[in-house]
Amino acid sequence: MSEASDNNPSAEEARPRSHGLVAGKMLLLACAMFGFGYLMVPLYDIICDITGLNGKTGRVSVSEVAEASAVAEDREIIVEFTASINQSGSWIFQPDVKTMTVKPGTLYHASYYAENLSNSAVVAQATPSVTPFAAAKYFNKTECFCFTRQAFEPRGSMHMPLTFIIDPDIPVNIDRVTLSYTFFRSPEQS
Amino acid sequence: MSTSDVTHHTPGEQHDHHDDHDHHGPAPGLMRWVTTTNHKDIGTLYLWFSLLMFFIGGAMALVIRAELFQPGIQIVDPMFFNSMTTLHAIVMIFGVVMPAFVGLANWMIPMMIGAPDMAMPRLNNWSFWIMPFAFTIMLSTLFMDSGGPAGGWTLYPPLVLQMGDSFAFVIFAIHFLGISSVMGAINIVATIFNMRAPGMTFMKMPMFVWTWLITAYLLIATLPVFAGAVTMLLTDRYFGTSFFSAAGGGDPVMFQHIFWFFGHPEVYILILPAFGIVSSIIPTFARKQLFGYDSMVYATASIAFLSFIVWAHHMFTTGMPLAGELFFMFSTMMISVPTGVKVFNWVATMWRGAMTFETPMLFSIGFVIMFTIGGLSGLMLAITPADIQYHDTYFVVAHFHYVLVPGAIYSLMAATYYWLPKWTGNMYDEKLGKMHFWISTIFVNVLFFPMHFVGLAGMPRRIPDYSLQFADWNMIATIGAFGFGFSQLMFVYIIVKCVKGGEKATDEVWEGARGLEWTVASPAPYHTFETAPVINPDTVTR
């Protein structure tokens, strides 16, 4: 809006006025904002990953775990495992162990059991969520069946592994963490 | 705002000049309206279209209120009720308030800035004619087997993805409405930037032009985001993407973020031009200049900027972290500062003015008072801990209907009465106009005020049935709804009567009116300002 400062009428008259130029700039803005709508999708994931919002848990490599060797011996946190099934898929989906008492800074193994009750091969995806949300960014997994899609034979079943470590920096007021998985039939199958 | 370099001419010179051009009249017959590129014709089309849609959307509201007259399910089945609430919102927002403001912009902006027409007249024709087709598609879903859209106008997934086949029609219609609005907005920006008469500097433009310039920017910046969001819904439903489906790694809450990134600026799109209208009318009938013109401009721009950083206050119950809740709470409350500047400026404009209370002024004062009521309940909703109680209750319904009905709709009625003599050349029936105002104002409060009470008591919105303790206030609200709805037939009668004839209006129409639109004849000739007018400080509204 550079014209805002232009108070001289004769100069305004002399200026060539291209409607196409203004319209083109505005159209460009409109297209950019359409793109921005799509840009919000990766931005949303990045922000959720950084802040742990939405209960999105972190993923760390085994070497990173080795570096963070400090174990908070004096603290005990109860980890609860829950499972739920989305839609009307015919599944059995449950944690093998319902609760564990863990020390932050130590690597633990857990597993979930899933069974395909249908007579066709299906691919499934599990999505995790941690509550309270404040705990999410301290709850790190080195290995999880939720990282990839799981393929099931007709009537097939499997125990799916999960390896996690809780960051010792987890706030002291948190003594109980719930890890919840929802099991979905993968969209390609439906 | 130096006016020293402006040459002074008498307004009469302009009249003589424009009378010469009267023979360039409109083409005869119905095709005139289809092929027209005249800004006044297109403005008229927009205004009639939105009046028609006002009654369609209003009829839907009456279905809703009739069902809510008593607890229990009496009149319509719940699915149809849900599509009524959804379509009522879409029709009123995209079919009534937005087209009516665009229609006023078409009619008034060229005349207010001394331009012969809009910058891109053919584009203008196209912007309008897309809309009837888009709404035909939208409303045709009501006659499909799957019924109309019933997931609320906010189209939240996963619910909206479970809709029947009408889903694709609704998305398609929304795309077209978006294209229409963005083209209209681009046209308005180009007109204001390029077509101002020499000497009509930015800080001399009438407030209506200013508010529309900022609104046009909001439209161009946010409607494409909405178009993107509904496109994602479309591909999620039909093309196997999973933007909002957790099964494929998406997140339904993300839709709410994208939607409200559009949705909150959208509510200012629905109210900023209303601020401009009221800022034109109050000075006329207070016979004073608008108090604090510069602060009005800056306040409008501030509101537009802030509208981009408050969206998540619609989502306080989605489980946001404390820091997010605090940020969106405070940024939302901050909007009340520029809005307060505006309200106090209107009051200061009236202060010690020689006020008269013709119908446009009554609607404008009604706007200032009742919009402020809606603004204050909005401030209550901004308080995060309180909002968790109020969320999705009738308190929210009361809030946004106060800012939209006695707010935006009242400004449109005020604008109609204010400029109708200029459009038609005839005065409307003042006695009937005043009656229309008082009957509407009584019933609109009977309709919406009780919703505050049932909302605070916990009545949820968007549900066709309710607990017995809400029965009395709902019955009263329904009586108000039918009273308000049927009193709008008076509005149509007054307009038609005025179009057909009546006392001839003078060129100035109103004693205290200032601005270029009042320097042309009444009714405004088909072509105005083919030669740029000379900006006389006395004719500029300010």
- Among A29-38, A142-151, B396-405, B475-484, the range scoring the smallest mean pLDDT is A142-151
Provide the pLDDT confidence category of residue B212 given band limits of 50, 70 and 90: very high
For A6, which residue in chain B has the nearest alpha carbon? B201
Per-residue pLDDT at B5 exceeds 60: no
Q: Which of B236, B266, B358, B429 is catalytic?
A: B266
Q: Is there a contact between A138 and A169 (Cβ–Cβ < 8 Å)?
A: yes
Nearest chain A CA: its distance from B251 CA (Å) = 9
Residue B358 lies in a domain: yes
pLDDT of residue A188: 57
Query: Rounded to 5 degrees, what angle do the CA atoms B296, B215, B499 make?
Result: 95
Give the pair of three-digit tokens for residue A27: 């159209």
Residue B63 lies in a domain: yes
pLDDT of residue A8: 46
Provide the pLDDT confidence category of residue B17 given band limits of 50, 70 and 90: very low
Tell me what percent of the residues of chain B surpass a pLDDT of 70: 94
Nearest chain B CA: its distance from A29 CA (Å) = 7
Q: Which of B193, B294, B325 to mutate to test the interface with A (most CBs of A within 10 A)?
A: B193
In this complex, the residue of A6, A44, A188 whose CB is nearest that of residue B254 is: A44
Residue predicted with more confidence, B485 or A7 = B485
Provide the pLDDT confidence category of residue A139 given band limits of 50, 70 and 90: confident
Q: Is there a contact between B187 and B124 (Cβ–Cβ < 8 Å)?
A: yes
Q: What is the mean pLDDT of residues A101-105?
A: 88
Tell which residue, B189, B400, B175, B271, has the closest CA to residue A37: B175
Interchain proximity A40–B258, CB inside 8 Å: yes
pLDDT for B440-479, tens place per residue?
A: 999 999 999 999 999 999 999 999 999 999 999 999 999 9
Tell me what percent of the residues of chain B surpass a pLDDT of 90: 81
Provide the pLDDT confidence category of residue B29 given band limits of 50, 70 and 90: confident
3-state secondary structure of B504: strand
Q: What is the mean pLDDT of residues B315-321?
A: 87
Exposed (0-12), middle (13-18) or buried (19+): which is A111, by Cβ within 10 Å? middle
Q: What value does the mean pLDDT of chain B take?
A: 91
| Domain carrying residue B444 | 39-539
DSSP alpha helices (H): ranges in B425-470? 430-456
Provide the pLDDT confidence category of residue A145 given band limits of 50, 70 and 90: confident
3-state secondary structure of B393: strand
- Among A47-51, A115-119, B107-111, B301-305, the range scoring the smallest mean pLDDT is A47-51
In this complex, the residue of B198, B224, B320 whose CB is nearest that of residue A34 is: B224
- Whether the bond between A132 and the residue before it is cis, its omega within 30 degrees of 0, is yes
Interchain proximity A30–B182, CB inside 8 Å: yes
Dihedral over alpha carbons B503, B505, B511, B513 (to 10 degrees)? 140
Strand bridging mode A176-185 / A122-131: antiparallel
Q: Is there a contact between B206 and B112 (Cβ–Cβ < 8 Å)?
A: yes
Q: Which of A34, A122, A189 to mutate to test the interface with B (most CBs of B within 10 A)?
A: A34
In this complex, the residue of A9, A51, A182 whose CB is nearest that of residue B5 is: A9
Instruction: Identify all chain B residues contacting A7, using CB atoms and an 8 Å cutoff.
Output: 1-2, 5, 201
Our answer to whether residue B279 is catalytic in this structure is yes
Interchain proximity B240–A188, CB inside 8 Å: yes
pLDDT of residue A9: 45
Per-residue pLDDT at B23 exceeds 70: no
Q: Is there a contact between B251 and B244 (Cβ–Cβ < 8 Å)?
A: yes
Q: Which of B86, B141, B166, B181 is catalytic?
A: B181
For A20, which residue in chain B has the nearest alpha carbon? B190
pLDDT for B264-295, tens place per residue?
A: 999 999 999 999 999 999 999 999 999 999 99
Q: Which residues pair with B269 in a beta bridge?
A: none
Per-residue pLDDT at A2 exceeds 70: no
Tell which residue, A58, A46, A62, A66, has the closest CA to residue A170: A58
Strand bridging mode A176-185 / A77-85: parallel
Interchain proximity B224–A30, CB inside 8 Å: yes
Our answer to whether residue B83 is catalytic in this structure is no
Per-residue pLDDT at B10 exceeds 60: no
Provide the pLDDT confidence category of residue A187 given band limits of 50, 70 and 90: low
pTM given for the model: 0.85
* A84: number of Cβ within 10 Å: 11
C-alpha B183: how far from chain center: 17
CA dist A150 and A146 (Å) reads 8
- Among left, alpha and beta (phi > 0; psi -120 to 50; other), residue A182 is beta
Question: Domain holding B354: CATH number?
Answer: 1.20.210.10
Our answer to whether residue B153 is catalytic in this structure is yes
Our answer to whether residue B313 is catalytic in this structure is yes
Instruction: Identify all chain B residues contacting A4, using CB atoms and an 8 Å cutoff.
Output: 201-203
Instruction: Identify all chain B residues contacting A188, using CB atoms and an 8 Å cutoff.
Output: 240
For B210, which residue in chain A has the nearest alpha carbon? A4
Instruction: Identify all chain A residues contacting B254, using CB atoms and an 8 Å cutoff.
Output: 40-41, 44
Interchain proximity A34–B221, CB inside 8 Å: no
Strand bridging mode A58-59 / A139-144: parallel
pLDDT of residue B114: 92
Per-residue pLDDT at A3 exceeds 80: no
Q: Which of A22, A56, A91, A127 to mutate to test the interface with B (most CBs of B within 10 A)?
A: A22
Nearest chain A CA: its distance from B346 CA (Å) = 25
Provide the pLDDT confidence category of residue A84 given band limits of 50, 70 and 90: confident
Q: Which of A8, A39, A41 to mutate to test the interface with B (most CBs of B within 10 A)?
A: A41
Our answer to whether residue B39 is catalytic in this structure is no
Per-residue pLDDT at A86 exceeds 50: yes
Query: How many independent structural domains does chain B possess?
Result: 1
Per-residue pLDDT at B26 exceeds 50: yes
Residue predicted with more confidence, B411 or A186 = B411
CA dist B403 and B396 (Å) reads 11
Per-residue pLDDT at A1 exceeds 60: no
Task: Please give the helix or strand (H or E) that residue B73 lies within, else none.
Answer: none
CA dist B76 and B70 (Å) reads 12
Q: What is the mean pLDDT of residues B380-388?
A: 94
Residue predicted with more confidence, B109 or A71 = B109
Give the pair of three-digit tokens for residue A136: 């999410």
Q: Is there a contact between B328 and B312 (Cβ–Cβ < 8 Å)?
A: yes
Per-residue pLDDT at A72 exceeds 80: no
Nearest chain B CA: its distance from A43 CA (Å) = 10
pLDDT of residue B22: 46
Instruction: Identify all chain B residues contacting A31, using CB atoms and an 8 Å cutoff.
Output: 224
CA dist B306 and B293 (Å) reads 20
Fold (CATH) for A56-189: Ctag/Cox11 (Pfam 04442) (2.60.370)
Nearest chain A CA: its distance from B405 CA (Å) = 29
Nearest chain B CA: its distance from A157 CA (Å) = 19
Per-residue pLDDT at A69 exceeds 90: no
Provide the pLDDT confidence category of residue B317 given band limits of 50, 70 and 90: very high
For A23, which residue in chain B has the nearest alpha carbon? B186
pLDDT for B89-129, tens place per residue?
A: 999 999 999 999 999 999 999 999 999 999 999 999 999 99
Residue B354 lies in a domain: yes
Q: What is the CB-side half-sphere exposure of residue B158 using CA atoms within 13 A?
A: 9
For B233, which residue in chain A has the nearest alpha carbon? A38
Instruction: Identify all chain A residues contacting B194, using CB atoms and an 8 Å cutoff.
Output: 17-19, 22
Our answer to whether residue B264 is catalytic in this structure is yes
Residue B305 lies in a domain: yes
Query: B121 vs A20, A175, B34, B49, CA distance in Å?
Result: 13, 67, 13, 19
Angle (deg, nearest 10), helices B336-350 and B359-382: 150
Our answer to whether residue B342 is catalytic in this structure is yes
* Three-class secondary structure assignment of chain A: CHHHHCCCHHHHHHCCCCHHHHHHHHHHHHHHHHHHHHHHHHHHHHHHHHHCHHHCCEECCHHHHHHCCCCCCCCCEEEEEEEEECCCCCEEEEECCCEEEECCCCEEEEEEEEEECCCCCEEEEEEEEEECHHHHCCEEEEEECCCCCEEECCCCEEEEEEEEEECCCCCCCCCEEEEEEEEEECHHHC
In this complex, the residue of B189, B226, B321 whose CB is nearest that of residue A26 is: B189
Our answer to whether residue B117 is catalytic in this structure is yes
Nearest chain B CA: its distance from A13 CA (Å) = 6
What does residue A118 show for φ and ψ, rounded to 5 degrees? -95, 170
Per-residue pLDDT at B320 exceeds 50: yes
- Among A62-71, A78-87, B305-314, B406-415, the range scoring the smallest mean pLDDT is A62-71
Q: Which of B46, B210, B260, B268 is catalytic?
A: B268
3-state secondary structure of B460: strand
Q: What is the mean pLDDT of residues B370-385?
A: 95
Instruction: Identify all chain A residues contacting B243, using CB atoms and an 8 Å cutoff.
Output: 41
3-state secondary structure of B426: strand
Residue B22 lies in a domain: no
CA dist A63 and A69 (Å) reads 10
Instruction: Identify all chain A residues contacting B253, using CB atoms and an 8 Å cutoff.
Output: 54
pLDDT of residue B426: 95
For B262, which residue in chain A has the nearest alpha carbon? A37
Our answer to whether residue B23 is catalytic in this structure is no
Residue B11 lies in a domain: no
- Among left, alpha and beta (phi > 0; psi -120 to 50; other), residue B469 is alpha
- Among B27-36, B110-119, B377-386, the range scoring the smallest mean pLDDT is B27-36
DSSP alpha helices (H): ranges in B91-120? 98-113
Instruction: Identify all chain B residues contacting A37, using CB atoms and an 8 Å cutoff.
Output: 224-229, 232, 258, 261
- Among B126-140, B393-407, B499-513, the range scoring the smallest mean pLDDT is B499-513
* B10: number of Cβ within 10 Å: 9
Residue B329 lies in a domain: yes
Residue B406 lies in a domain: yes
For B229, which residue in chain A has the nearest alpha carbon? A37
